[in-house]
Amino acid sequence: MRVTVRLFARLRDITGASELARDLAPGATIGTVWRQLAGEFPALADYERSISSAVNADYARMDHVLHDGDEVAFLPPVSGG
């Protein structure tokens, strides 16, 4: 299955992309995607404990199981307001 990954702020700078496509095995979770990305971009490791994640524009935990066509987002600590 295939998901779209959205990256924001410094995560986007690190990966050089605001949007990536990734192919996953069935049963993959948000965490699966994160570990895959962290393997490709070691600088992401800094964010291991501080990122939030979302699926289809709703907050979701790392153990959330993904489906084909999902939009996964990784969010560094926020600074709005």
Partner 1 sequence: MTPLLAIGPEALELERLAAALDASAGSNAGADGAVVTFLGLVRNHNVGRRVRYLEYEAYAPLALKAFERIGAEIHERWPDVRLALHHRIGRLDIGEASIAIAARSPHRANAYAACRYAIERVKQIAPIWKREFFDGGDMWIEGATADPDDQRARAEAERIACA
- Name the residue type at position 15: T
Token output for 20: 């990536």
Q: Does 41 bind partner 1 (CB under 8 A)?
A: no
Question: Nearer Cβ to partner 1, position 30 or 73?
Answer: 73
Question: Nearer Cβ to partner 1, position 16 or 49?
Answer: 49
Strand-pairing partners, residue 72, are: 5, 55
Kindly state the DSSP code that residue 41 receives in the 8-state scheme.
Answer: -
Identify residues 46-75 at the interface with partner 1 (CB under 8 A): 49-52, 54, 57-59, 73, 75
CA dist., res. 60 & res. 75, Å (int) = 11
Residues of this chain that bind partner 1 (CB under 8 A): 6, 8-10, 13, 49-52, 54, 57-59, 73, 75-81
